[in-house]
Amino acid sequence: MTAPAKIVLSDVHKSFGKKVVLDGIDLSIQKGESVVVIGGSGTGKSVMLKSVLGILRPERGSIKVDGEEVIGMRSKDRDRMMLKFGMLFQGSALFDSLRVWENVAFGLIQGRGMNRIQAKDIAIEKLAAVGLAESAGDLFPAELSGGMQKRVALARAIATSPEIIFFDEPTTGLDPIMADVINDLIVKCTKELGATTLSITHDMASARKIADRIAMLYKGRLIWVGPAKDIDHSGNEFVDQFIHGRAEGPIKMELRA
Amino acid sequence: MDFLATIGRVFLAFLSHVGRLSAFTGTALSHVVRPPFYPRLTLRAMVEIGYYSLPVVGLTAVFTGMVLALQSYSGFSRFAAEGAVATVVVLSVTRELAPVLAGLMVAGRIGASMAAEIGTMRVTEQIDALTTLSTNPFKYLVAPRLLAGLLMVPCLVLVADIIGVFGGYIVGVYKLGFNPSSYLARTWEYLEPLDVISGLTKAAVFGFVISLMGCYNGYYSRGGAQGVGAATTNSVVSAAIMILIFNYVITALYFGK
């Protein structure tokens, strides 16, 4: 008997006005699995993540986390549910007004009510896990480079030892070497935690490195889902065009929104 | 027909804004009275609104009191009523000018800053990050600011009352040649507690409105720097208009007969 899935999306639909962004998404993620969703810009990858987190509310369908329906969940229940999650945002989304260590410890102090001294010790430990010195903890986010901000964001995502971690374009805007460093850190940290992860990216190097399974999103639907090792012989011309970055193929760039 | 359609669209947009603002206000108020509370953030907002607005409110009050003394002396001398200058200054300042002018100055300084800060947090996904860290943005960002606005603007207006009357006294005594003790006696003679209380009531309402419009416009800002700029402008303009409307309503309630 197979274990129940950690996250299940069934027939999820989301539109903004007349623009249909998610058009019936079905995806199941097992406990401890790392799934990466690839797709071009504006295909709805971030909307999918935010729907699972309850930041956006789909019009139709079901999203279950550990068997519990997320859509329409009360704010108090969602706060409780969020204790299971960690998230690394595309632009890091660090709080400008707080020091680096306070950013990392935020979920521990505000979400779990831990005292500041104990939370600071854990924050310093997590900063070390992503390769940042203790002294970086006293800086403000604006004083860090983009790569360092991503590391801090990763430290914040793993600080509460969450069961589920979402990565939204974790390597966007980074040079290839720093991107690989972040990918390695993601693999190392998530394996250590045994976390279930859902990532979205259009960086194929990143997808190959961190994924157990890859799903491709195109025009609001998942057009291919399979093991990461099969991505190069998916037999899907859309996937082939995307992973090889070809301008010619069935995917046409829309010039207007 | 296009003209009618435009009117209809504008009216529907207006109703939509009113509905969204009402829902925002209700949610924010419910978070003001329900734990967890953030005393540190509330204190910080109180210092920002109360302490750092003192210079601008003080300057506004002192010059308003001085101008009022000059104008009323010049006008009242036409019918030999110069003796009423002190009374006019104290009643005008406490009932109207201190709350309204302090409210408008605070709307420009604090409302704009709140909208810009929360708006930037919105467009850089920091508000989404709060949600994923099990922290309700209404509790963490909105409630402390509403409470601080409600409490601190009356304190500012009380200070403005004193400074405004002092400005009138300086001009009355040193420029217009009033006897100091008789000027003070005329100041106290017709001043009633209701004059000050009505001004402080206005101040509390204005403080709430300023914080509400700053938070509301920031919270729903979108579209990057341009969106944050628009939120800032809307915050100041809407707060200023609401201050003038509520000023009439409260005046009518206190002194309508």
Contacts of A107 in chain B (CB under 8 A): 133-134
Q: What is the pLDDT of residues A93-125, one digit of tens each?
A: 999 989 999 999 999 998 888 999 999 999 999
> How near does any CA of chain B get to the CA of A229, in Å?
31
- Residue B105: band (very low, low, confident or very high) from pLDDT cuts 50, 70, 90: very high
Crossing angle for the helix pair B143-170 and B85-92, nearest 10 degrees?
170
Question: What are the residue boundaries of the structural domains of chain B, listed by start?
Answer: 38-255
Of B126, B132, B134, the CB nearest to A95: B126
pLDDT the model gives residue A246: 81
The reply to whether ipTM tops 0.90 is no
Interface contact A82-B128, CB threshold 8 A? no
pLDDT at residue A254, rounded to an integer: 62
pLDDT digits (tens, 9 = 90+) for A144-172: 988 889 889 999 999 998 999 999 988 88
Helix (H, G, I), strand (E, B) or coil at B156: helix
Alpha-carbon distance A185 to nearest alpha carbon in chain B (angstroms): 20
φ/ψ bin of A17: left (φ > 0), alpha (ψ from -120 to 50), beta (otherwise): left
**CA–CA min distance A31, chain B (Å):** 19
Does the pLDDT value for residue B157 go beyond 80?
yes
DSSP character at residue B97 = I
Tokens of A117: 């001294």
Chosen from B118, B133, B145, B222 to mutate, greatest number of chain A CBs within 10 A: B133
> Tens digit of pLDDT for each residue in B121-135?
999 999 999 988 988
* Contact residues, chain A, for B131 at CB < 8 Å: 53-55, 78, 82
End-to-end CA distance of chain A: 46
Nearest CB partner across the interface for A55, out of B120, B126, B128? B128
Task: Sort out which chain A residues have CB atoms less than 8 A from B125's CB and list them.
Answer: 89-91, 93
Residue A2: predicted pLDDT: 63
What is the average pLDDT across A15-43?
Answer: 89
User: Within its chain, how far is the Cα of A233 from the centroid?
Assistant: 25
Query: Which pLDDT score, from 0 to 100, does residue A91 have?
Result: 87
Residue A257, pLDDT score: 47
Tell me how crowded residue A177 is: count the other CB atoms within 10 A of its CB.
9
Sheet holding A196-201, edge to edge: A85-88, A164-168, A196-201, A34-38, A213-218, A221-227
pLDDT value at A70 more than 70 = yes
pLDDT confidence of residue A199? 92
Q: How far is B139 from chain A (nearest CA, A)?
A: 11
Using an 8 Å CB-CB cutoff, list chain B residues near A80: 134
Mark yes or no for CB contact A87/B135 under 8 Å.
no
Contact present, B240 and B148 (Cβ < 8 Å)? no
Q: Residue A255 — very low, low, confident or very high, per pLDDT cuts 50/70/90? A: low
Residue B139 has a pLDDT of 92
Percent of chain A topping pLDDT 70:
97
- Contact residues on chain B for A96, CB-CB shorter than 8 A: 120, 126
| A-B C-beta contacts closer than 8 Å | 55
Kindly list the strands in the beta sheet with A68-69, ordered across the sheet, starting from the edge strand earlier in the chain. Answer: A19-29, A7-16, A60-65, A68-69
Q: What are the distances in angstroms from CA B131 to CA A110, A188, A195?
A: 11, 26, 20
B176: helix, strand or coil: coil
The pLDDT-based confidence of B192 (bands split at 50, 70, 90) is very high
Inform me whether the pLDDT recorded for B225 exceeds 50.
yes
Q: Which of B120, B128, B136 sits opposite A79 (nearest CB)?
A: B136
- Considering only CB atoms, which chain B residues are within 8 Å of A95? 121, 126, 129
Give the gyration radius of chain B's Cα atoms. 21
Measured CA to CA, the distance from residue B139 to residue A19 in angstroms comes to 32
pLDDT score, position A213:
93
Q: Please tell me the distance in Å from A84's CA to the nearest CA on chain B.
A: 9
Amino acid (one-letter) located at B161: D
Confidence bin at B229 (pLDDT 50/70/90): very high
A43 close to A216: Cβ distance less than 8 angstroms = no
Taking the CA of residue A95 and the nearest CA in chain B, the distance in Å comes to 6
Asked if residue A227 has a cis previous peptide bond (ω within 30° of 0), the answer is no
**Mean pLDDT of all residues in chain B?**
93
Nearest CA in chain B to A104: B133
Q: Of B95, B104, B205, B132, nearest to A52 (Cα)?
A: B132
Count of CB atoms situated within 10 Å of the CB of A161: 15
Q: Do A86 and B135 touch (CB under 8 A)?
A: no
Q: Which of A75, A91, A112 sits opposite B124 (nearest CB)?
A: A91
Predicted pLDDT at A194: 87
Name the pLDDT band for A180 (thresholds 50, 70, 90): confident
| pLDDT given for residue B1 in this prediction | 66
**C-alpha of A51 from chain center:** 12
Question: Cβ–Cβ contacts within 10 Å for residue B150, how many?
Answer: 21
Paired residues of A36 in beta bridges: A199, A214
Of the pLDDT bands very low, low, confident and very high (cuts 50, 70, 90), residue A40 is confident
Are the beta carbons of A53 and B128 separated by less than 8 Å? yes
Contact A110 B133 (CB under 8 A): yes
Q: Do A107 and B134 touch (CB under 8 A)?
A: yes
Cβ A35 vs Cβ A197: under 8 Å: yes
Phi/psi for B163 (5° steps) reads -65, -40
Instruction: Answer for the pair A203, A172: CB distance below 8 angstroms, yes or no.
Output: yes
Three-state SS string over chain A comes to: CCCCCCEEEEEEEEEECCEEEEEEEEEEECCCCEEEEECCCCCCHHHHHHHHHCCCCCCEEEEEECCEECCCCCHHHHHHHHCCEEEECCCCCCCCCCCHHHHHHHHHHHHCCCCHHHHHHHHHHHHHHCCCCHHHHHCCHHHCCHHHHHHHHHHHHHCCCCCEEEEECCCCCCCHHHHHHHHHHHHHHHHHHCCEEEEEECCHHHHHHHCCEEEEEECCEEEEEEEHHHHHHCCCHHHHHHHHCCCCCCCCCCCCC
Confidence check: pLDDT of A214 > 90: yes
| Residues in B touching A111 (Cβ below 8 Å) | 133-135
Q: How many CB atoms lie within 10 A of CB A115?
A: 9
Residue B137's pLDDT band, with cuts at 50, 70 and 90, is very high
Interface residues of B toward A, Cβ cutoff 8 Å, are 120-121, 124-126, 128-129, 131-136, 140
